[in-house]
Amino acid sequence: MSNGSVVILTALNLEYQAVRQRLADPQVHRHERGTRFEVGSVRGTSCNVALGLTSKGNHSAAVIAERAIQEFSPVAVLFVGVAGALWDTTRLGDVVMASHVYAYHGGTSEDDGLKARPRVWEAPHGISQLASHLARLNDWADPAPGHEDAPQVRFGAIAAGEIVQNSRISAEAKWIRRHYNDALAIEMEAAGVAQAGHLNGAPVAIVRGISDRADGTKNSAEDRNWQPKAAANAAAFATRLAVELLGEQEETAMPRDDRVRSTDQLDRHVSNTAHNSTVGVMAGSVTGSNVHLNTAPKASGPTDLIAELECFHDQLAWHRAEGTLDEDTCREALTDLDSALRSAGGNTPESSKRTVMTLRRLRGLVAEYPALVAALAPIVAAAGDLA
């Protein structure tokens, strides 16, 4: 499938239905191992979403997330649903987007007690920035009936474990609040999805609506009342985020003619301002006072794609030589690039799909280097067109 899509996963049918209601004409897509997804577009937009159900727990969530990433090569994976608030400062119905995820069940048992040894995954910077922007706009929520306060988006840590947390006075509850006192919410799937995204080079965002306070009120009348509201609020924010993510992806991978026009404008600007000046150029050529920048044109076949990959190899080497790319990242990036070059020469649907997946993993590796991300984005898009 084309990489112009976002995967949205949920753990519960209630959460699944909250997202599905926002999709137009969802169609069943069956994974070869039996996992069923539904693929549709967010109503009123061209944003394609592949929706899947993971069931409860980090382990099953990780497996289904990896299947979804391999199957759809998505722009991003959003895990959407409800969670319990750890502190009274977060209101019921509000949405928490994870700035980072704790897998809090990691630890070591010693004579003087249980010591925390969590794994932690941070949210991708670009997605966090976009989500913060949407939260400031504050126009994503469905109109609330009556005079209820509109839900707000909170950003902070989310703790993900292997048990349903429904107490504030149990030994486990006190331990969590002592060791993870910056966590806003607690749930059971985010760590698995974050790990799957990390291993496959896919950006992951966790979006949770607060349905309870993890204080013994789960399955109460109040919880049954708040669960659908919290799920709907999380679905509303997540689908808005998905639409904006794909919009940004399309802007990054603009058609070649548009990129050439942008480059021509830059050439004219440099030509008018850089007389008798020294200009450092990462890639391209200089003629007189004109600077000509290399762009990544849309590949018309495997040979063109290989040429663009080889050009990107030179850019990695340049960044490493300049000291803007650390040695370990460069080594891993070159390993992925070599793998992409090998699969790009296969000229089969399977090899094309492997190329896209490898390039997406490579993009994750260089996510902190804007120049490399910008150079890689049209190559990823071109590889996707060939897949």
Angle in degrees, CA 248, 252, 254, rounded to 5: 115
pLDDT digits (tens, 9 = 90+) for 60-114: 999 999 999 999 999 999 999 999 988 888 899 999 999 999 988 877 778 877 7
- How would residue 232 be classed by pLDDT, with cut points 50, 70 and 90? very high
- How would residue 257 be classed by pLDDT, with cut points 50, 70 and 90? low
Q: Give the rounded distance of the alpha carbon of 101 from its chain centre.
A: 13
Q: Residue 346 to residues 336, 377, 387: CA-CA distances in angstroms? A: 16, 21, 11
The first and second tokens of residue 203, run together, are 């950006």
Domain 5-252 CATH class label: alpha beta
Phi and psi for 27 in degrees, rounded to 5? Answer: -120, 140
- How would residue 118 be classed by pLDDT, with cut points 50, 70 and 90? confident
In this structure, what is the dihedral angle of CA atoms 127, 133, 137, 138, given to the nearest 10 degrees? 50
Taking all residues of the chain, what is their mean pLDDT, rounded to a whole number? Answer: 82
Q: Is the pLDDT reported for residue 237 higher than 50? A: yes
Phi-psi region of 341 (alpha: psi -120 to 50; beta: other; left: phi over 0): alpha
Tell me the chain's radius of gyration from C-alpha atoms.
23
Strand partners, 48: 5, 41
Q: Which of the two residues, 186 and 143, has the higher pLDDT score?
A: 186
d(CA 331, CA 334): 5
Q: pTM value?
A: 0.66
Per-domain boundaries in the chain: 5-252, 256-386
Q: Is the pLDDT reported for residue 156 higher than 90? A: yes
In this structure, what is the dihedral angle of CA atoms 153, 159, 165, 166, given to the nearest 10 degrees? -30
Q: Which of the two residues, 41 and 381, has the higher pLDDT score?
A: 41
pLDDT digits (tens, 9 = 90+) for 330-383: 888 888 888 888 887 776 777 777 888 888 888 877 877 878 888 888 888 887
Q: Which of 126-135, 277-286, 301-310 has the lowest mean pLDDT?
A: 277-286
Rounded average pLDDT over 126-142: 93
Residues 153/97, Cβ–Cβ less than 8 Å: yes
